[in-house]
Every structure is written in structure tokens, then in C-alpha cells.
Chains A and B, each alone.
Chain A
Amino acid sequence: MTSGGTTSRDPRILVFSTNSISDPGIDRAGSAHLHYSTAVQVVPLPCSSGVKPSWIVRALQHGFDGVFIAACGGDCAYLPDCTSRTSALVSRAQTLLKEHGISPKRLKMAGLCSVCADNFVAHMNNFQQELKRVEA
């Protein structure tokens, strides 16, 4: 494992959140003083439909063990079809990951609402468990 913020056992996760939906949900985990691993780090974006597959590949190639897209889901204020657009990106990114010899299991997406604090923590814990089982 690489640098700080991480105990050697915790897989590092990069989360792409969204400013008005999932990031407030992740904030709420903080307001509620829930606990998750310091190996989780969040980069907020306006909307999950704008995540570039190349960012995912880069993160996984350079040291993150997993990328989690905390999508706006049905609550997206921009796009009624946000979920299907984000899913299409995830499929593209998974193909790209395979081309780079990276397991597509290292990429995960789930809709996360603006109050989904418990869900977020559960997603992080589960994803870390899953990543421990992913080879390569």
C-alpha cells in the first residue's frame, strides 16, 4: 500500500460525489459522526453524468484500489435520465479497465441520495471488503 491516510489493510477508494445530491449525503455521515475508513477520499463534481472513464483508469493505475461513483440517481436536478447516462459511462469505463488489465470489479456505482449517510458508510465498508477479494 502507498501513502498516508491509510492503514496498510484498508483498500483505498476514490469516490466521485455530486455537489447537490450525493456529496450532502456523504456530509451527513460526518454530521452524524458515523465512521468509515480514512482510506476513502471524495472528489465532488456537479453531476455523475460528467465522470470521465479516463479519470477512473488513472486513479486505479496510480494507486487507488477502487473507484466509487456516488451517483445522483433519480434525484438529479439536471437530468431525468442521469442514472442511465451514468450507467453507460460505467460500462464504458469497465471495458476500458479490462483493456488495461484492471479488474472491472474495482469500479462501482450506486445512487446516493442527499440524506443517505448510512448507505454511504455501508457502501464503503462493503466495497472495501469486496476489493480485498479482488485479485490483480
Chain B
Amino acid sequence: MTNKRRIGVYVCHCGGNISDHVDVKDVARTLAGEADVEVARTHLFACSDASQQEMIDEIKDRKLDGLVIASCSPKLHTFTFRAMAQRAGLNPYQYVHVNLREQCSWVHGGDKAAATAKGINIVRAGVAKCALTHPLTPLRIETQPRVLVVGAGVAGMRAAIALAEMGLSVFVIERENEPGGWTSQVGWMGPDHQHGPEVVAKLLKEVKNHENVVLYTNAELTAKSGHIGDFTVTIRLCGEKDLTLNVGAIVVATGFTPYEPRDGEYGWGLPGVVTLKEFRQLLEEGDGPLTYRGVPVRDVGFIYCVGSRQTESEDCPEPNTHCSRFCCMATAFSGSLLHEHEKKFGRTINQYHLYRDVRTYGRLETVYAKARADGALFLRWDPSDPPRVEQRNGRLAVKVKDTLLGDEELEIGADLVVLATGMVPRKNGALDDVLKIPKSKDGFYNEIHIKLRPVETAIDGVCIAGTSQGPKNLAESVASSLAAVARTGALLKKGYVDLEPLVAKIDTSKCVWCNECLKACPYGAIERVLYGDKEVATVIESSCKGEGACVPICPQDAIVIEGYRDDQIVAMIDASLKETVPA
């Protein structure tokens, strides 16, 4: 048995999480005798400081050149052990992680012998991969201390101010004539009675007064080149003049579009059927008691979930399956505003809230409670039998089966029927072609990880904020905007960024420049260069995402992804199939 490598294999008990179901000592004993393994032992908790120190000492003392850690899922501790390898003087990319807990002990309880045998197989595959690692160096890129914010709604402006306060230069571009977005049109907002236009005016004043922020209206992003930390962007001003800027990062806060009901959907198109926004304008505009087209309003029906939580049907082939989050609160809050109006003008207005579920979560529950106390009547309908709105004797009639009254069908006469329309993804046209931010199934921009990386996108250096990512109320929108600021600030204030070196590599001796990889790459990471006297493909490492789409399509088999090279995967397959010799 020849040892080409000096690999340390550390098998974790994870308390008993692994060792109760996998004989970790047997795994270590078996691996200890195999090729390329210098040492194999177990640790009670490999991630503990004490265990890490022992491993560091051993890596140094025995001059290990590879590290295999078999413990929990790599999602938990890859960075822990990369950093540990670094402290031990070992290249972090010569460490391989084996998932012995989530993908072995926790799913194979009850048969310790079989689980142990599988454990041996998967650690062997890890060793085989590790034996073929070589040191890799992250690509270090200097970052530019400037940010482009796309969209000057509340999320965009709030981000701009916070980034400017960090000392970064900020360019905010807004496609429309006026900044402010939707908040400037909504009037009073729950739960704390703040006025949308006032909130916007205050932010706009800060934006305009801050020396680090420049705001462009009638401005659109038309081109982007470069990479994380150093982008060149082209902004078209007023549809004619182009402006070129150099920025280190981009925050996208392009907002949403309100759902537009289909003709006839809940009576849409009939006089008196209005959206929530239109209703609020009616309520705020007049200086007397509420009227609609000159007729006093005495009964108002609110219909919730219009354009949200839809299911596929003939009428609705592309349903919006999501909840729009803000509408329950905004509609219930409108109930209280209507009640204030009643009191102010001393005229009773009956209000009926036709809902599916009331999702006034968290503190917003107080808004719902107040609406009920203010006289709003809530009736629950079932999506299999939604309310029907008809015109009757110059008024509107809403038929609804109240599921809480034993499906009794009620008919409510109304002067106004208010549709609580949800949020749908905004059509950003050319911007999507320029930024190439992936979208999720609902059509909104997609984050990398909904819980752990909620504002970063697959495009490094581009964060999403506010409702461009999905429906949010204003507080949530600002929270997400400031999260994008935190990620952007962390990137740019450091001054440099280290990129994962796990990217594509082209074997120039095999490559004959057939163009296939260029066509397969959506990131523009492939370029044609002259190598000696032949044309070959080369990888722009800072643009490559390392997903590997170019690998199987290369007719010459000339491309690998570092960390997932062909020889490594083949070695893993072969090692997994090795006969287990009892130790």
C-alpha cells in the first residue's frame, strides 16, 4: 500500500447523534489502515474548541496534507473546519466534509452494522476525493466603495441613506418621474397611523441632503459589466443620455405591481367596485361624508385575497398562489379609518369584511381587533364558493356563504365593493436582461436561501430588497432593505472580496473552441483567447459561478469544476463500491 498523501480522518460522535447508530470507532479503525490515510480517529464533538485544537496540533505535528471530517451536514460546519484548516497551515480546499449524521446515522437507526458499513463507504469516498485535492487560492478582488440602488421607493431610499451613512457613495436610480414608489400613494398606514406621503417626503429630504447620495429620476439601468466589487453600469437618463458609473455592488429595490383583477372578477368593471387604493383615495379626498359618484355611501363590502392565494382554473391559468401579506392588515385598518370617518360626519356606514383567513400576524393583530371593535363585521368565505358581486337596482349586491354560520347564504346590499388586491411581480423588462437575477416560481426575484441568505442573489454583488423579492408590508420591506445594506456594507467596507476558487477550468490541450461552453454559460464567464496558435476557451474566474453547466456539454471533455473534478467524482464512485474488510 503506497501512501501518496498524508490525510487525517476525523470521525465525530456528535455526542451520541452519530455514534448511537454508527460504530464510529470501527469507521476510524477501518480507514486508518487504508491508502493515503496517515491518521484516523474519533472525536466526541469535532466542532468543539478542544477537538479543533487537537486536530490542529496533529495536522502540524504529522504534517498532514489533507483533512476529512465526517460529522454533521456540511451546511453547518464547512466554514468552521475551513478556518480550522487554515489555522493549522493546511489549505482549506484540501479539507473534505462527509455527512455522517443527516445522511447516515439519523436515517439508518436500528441497523448499526449496515449503517456502519455505509459510514465506511461514504468516508472512503471522502478520502478518495481528498486524495485528489490540491491547494486552491481564493480570487481576491478589490472592491469599489460605491453602490447603485435601483428604485427610489421607501426600500430603495432607506437603503441609500443607510449606505451613505456608512461612508459609501450611493447612486439611486428611479424609472419614474417622481421618487417615492407606492408608499407615496397609500395615505394613512397601519398599525401606527403614519401618513405614506409624509414618510416618503422625510426620506426624500434625507436623500437629497446627504452629500454621499445622488438621485436620478427617469433613469434606467441598461447595461452592466464587470463583477462583484467592481461593476461598470450604464444608466439611461430621460431615455436619451447615457451615464456610465463604476460601483462595487448593486441593491435592487424595484417594488411590486398591484394585482389587476380580471373583467368580472368579484364584479370588477361594475360601477362601485373599486380597489382598496381607490377606496382610500375616495375616503381621504372628499371634505364631506363619503359619496360615490354623488351618491352617499351607506354600505361597504370589502373582499379579501383578490389576486392572492389563487388556484389554477380555466379563468385563472397562471394563479398567484402566494399570500400578499399586507392586505389583511391594510383592509382591516381601512375599516377603522372608515369608522373614524363615520364618527367625524355622524353618519352610519355599515362595513362587511369578506375574508378567507385573517392574517394580521404579530402586532398587526391589534389592527384586526380594533376593526372589530369599530364595528367591522367579518364573514368568512370558502375559496370553493367565493363571493359573487352583481348589480341590482342601481346598487351592488354581494352574495356570500358564511362558513361560520353553517354556510348560510347572505346577500349584502352595498354602495361600494372594495377589492383588496394583492401584490404581483413588477415587470422590469430590460433590467431583467441586464441583471439576470433568478426568479422564483412566483415570479419575484429569488434569494439564495430564504432563511440564511435572504437578500443575496446568485449574482454576486447584487442584493434584492423590499417587495422586488416577494410581498411584504412596509416594515418588512425596510427590514429587508437594511439587510441588503448590511450585506453590501460588509462587502464594500472590507475593501476586498475573496471569491470561491471552485470554478470551471479548461484544459487548453483538449479545447478546440467549438463555442458550446459559451452558449451554455448564462454568466458571460467564457471568453475566446489565443493559446499559442489555436483558439481556446478561457474562464473569467470572477464571473464563473461554478455550477458546472458547461462541463457535460463540452464535446472535448475539456472542462472541470474545481472541487468536483472528473477524477474526483470517479474516485468517489469507485471508493464507495470497495469491499469492506472487517478491521
Q: Are B441 and A49 in contact (CB under 8 A)?
A: no
Complex formed: what's the CA distance from A89 to B550 in Å?
12
Chain A proximity of B110: nearest CB distance (Å)? 8
Whether, in the assembled complex, A77 has its beta carbon less than 8 Å from a beta carbon of chain B, the answer is yes
Q: Are A78 and B75 in contact (CB under 8 A)?
A: no
Q: Are A80 and B103 in contact (CB under 8 A)?
A: no
Chain A proximity of B327: nearest CB distance (Å)? 26
Q: Among the listed A5, A35, A42, A92, which residue makes an inter-chain contact with B117, where contact means beta carbons less than 8 Å apart?
A: A5
Provide the A74-100 mask, 1 if CB < 8 A to any CB of B, else 0: 111111100001000100100000000
Chain B proximity of A115: nearest CB distance (Å)? 10
Mark the stretch among A53-61, A102-110, A127-135 that contacts chain B: A53-61
CB-CB under 8 A for A50 and B548, given A59-B573, A75-B440, A76-B438: yes
Q: Are A78 and B438 in contact (CB under 8 A)?
A: yes
Whether, in the assembled complex, A71 has its beta carbon less than 8 Å from a beta carbon of chain B, the answer is no
CB-CB under 8 A for A46 and B108, given A2-B577, A53-B552: no
Which residues on the A side are within 8 Å of B106 (C-beta)? Answer: 30-31, 33
Whether, in the assembled complex, A38 has its beta carbon less than 8 Å from a beta carbon of chain B, the answer is yes
Complex formed: what's the CA distance from A62 to B573 in Å?
8
Interface size class of B (residues with CB under 8 A): 35 or more
Q: Among the listed B118, B441, B548, which residue makes an inter-chain contact with A47, where contact means beta carbons less than 8 Å apart?
A: B548
Whether, in the assembled complex, A64 has its beta carbon less than 8 Å from a beta carbon of chain B, the answer is yes
Which residues on the A side are within 8 Å of B458 (C-beta)? Answer: 77-78
Interface size class of A (residues with CB under 8 A): 35 or more
Complex formed: what's the CA distance from A33 to B570 in Å?
30
Provide the B232-263 mask, 1 if CB < 8 A to any CB of A, else 0: 00000000000000000000000000000000
Whether, in the assembled complex, A51 has its beta carbon less than 8 Å from a beta carbon of chain B, the answer is yes
Chain B proximity of A57: nearest CB distance (Å)? 10
Complex formed: what's the CA distance from A85 to B570 in Å?
22
Q: Are B448 and A20 in contact (CB under 8 A)?
A: yes
Which residues on the B side are within 8 Å of A33 (C-beta)? Answer: 106-107, 109
Q: Are A38 and B114 in contact (CB under 8 A)?
A: yes
Interface set, chain A 17-69, CB cutoff 8 A to B = 20, 23-24, 26-31, 33-36, 38-39, 41-47, 49-55, 58-59, 62-64
Known: A5-B119, A38-B115. 9 other contacts (CB 8 A): A2-B579, A5-B121, A24-B75, A27-B103, A36-B108, A41-B576, A46-B502, A52-B569, A55-B566
5 A-B pairs in the complex with CB atoms less than 8 angstroms apart: A4-B117, A24-B73, A28-B102, A33-B109, A42-B122
